[in-house]
Amino acid sequence: MTDPLLSVRDFSVVYDVDPPVAAVKNVTLELQRGEILGLAGESGCGKTTLAYGIQRLLKAPAVITGGSVMFHDSDGTDVDVNALGPEQMRRFRWDKVSMVFQGAMNALNPVATIGSQLEDVFEVHRPGMNRRDRRDAVAELLDIVKVGAQRARSFPHELSGGMRQRVMIAMALALRPQLMVMDEPTTALDVLVQREILRQISQLRREFGFSVVFITHDLPLLLEISDRIAIMREGEIVELATAEQIWRDPQDEYTKTLLSSFPRLTGEKGVVVR
């Protein structure tokens, strides 16, 4: 039995340049409630364009040329994302769907404290909250992501890269969205910190029940964290299956090539072991 949270049908995006570039071509996929869906492919294959497009974050010259995006709210309402007006879209983002952008840990305001930047989320989206409630909510968030409430007074430069990324995850989690889109959230981190962040994402997903679209070119990482994986190539999804199926029995030749492109710890040098 399926319980979809997001349904994308025949979704297409073109960059209106000379000549036009079809970045996303008739993509259809369904994200289940509480699922981690990995989105993998080489750089330039359309992963980020797809993620931005379904949230209507694209800017010119990108143009959505077709398809539908339907969000199935937990209250039973179906939301046609493409039909939302500017104010409705503003409320929809962060409240229903949040995003951790690529390189987001370097996007924090260097002259504002961590706490004040997190409070801004509540001030904009929860105007009825008083200052004390906002501060309590910030302290709770920082504890949840294991940064610690005492860090609310810290400035970004006083935190490590891993801690800054946790702050960005806290910001995305602030309004308890039903879907979190994460675009290469661990790329700039060392392997140990990367694994800590991944474990925490999985733990938070289990605790709060949100769904995740996790975008990366690192297929082995997705095999570890994802329930299902969609493989993109030149704007199209060429394979969509469970992580187990992708690893054990990939069907598309491009998927097999991606899997074979990562070095193994065992086997002869220069020989790919499958």
Q: What is the 3-state secondary structure (H, E, C) of 13-78?
A: EEECCCCCEEEEEEEEEEEECCCEEEEECCCCCCHHHHHHHHCCCCCCCEEEEEEEEEEECCCCCE
Residue 195 has a pLDDT of 84
Instruction: Give the Å distances, CA to CA, from 54 to 17, 93, 110.
Output: 21, 11, 30
Residue 161 has a pLDDT of 87
Domain map of the chain by residue range?
A: 106-176
Q: What are the E-state strand segments in the chain?
A: 4-15, 21-32, 36-40, 62-72, 78-80, 97-100, 179-183, 211-216, 228-233, 236-242
d(CA 225, CA 133): 34
Residue 134 has a pLDDT of 96
Residue 269 has a pLDDT of 56
Check: CB of residue 37 under 8 Å from CB of residue 230.
yes
In 105-130, which positions are buried (b, 16+ CB within 10 angstroms) versus exposed (e)?
beebeeeebbbbbbbbbbeeeeeeee
Residue 187 has a pLDDT of 74
Residue 198 has a pLDDT of 86
Instruction: Report the alpha-carbon angle 164-47-219, nearest 5.
Output: 75
Q: What is the mean pLDDT of each run of 10 residues along the chain (274 residues)?
A: 90 96 96 96 93 94 97 95 94 92 80 96 93 96 94 94 90 95 83 85 91 91 93 96 96 92 63 46
Instruction: Give the Å distances, CA to CA, from 131 to 126, 138, 177.
Output: 11, 11, 22
- pTM of the predicted model as reported, rounded to 2 decimal places: 0.90
Residue 220 has a pLDDT of 86
Token pair for 81? 């994302």
d(CA 271, CA 267): 7
Residue 267 has a pLDDT of 58
Instruction: Give the Å distances, CA to CA, from 91 to 2, 59, 98.
Output: 27, 19, 11
Residue 184 has a pLDDT of 87
The owner of tokens 């969609």 is 230
d(CA 207, CA 219): 25
In 207-226, which positions are buried (b, 16+ CB within 10 angstroms) versus exposed (e)?
eeebbbbbbbbbbebbbebb
The owner of tokens 């790919």 is 272
Residue 274 has a pLDDT of 46
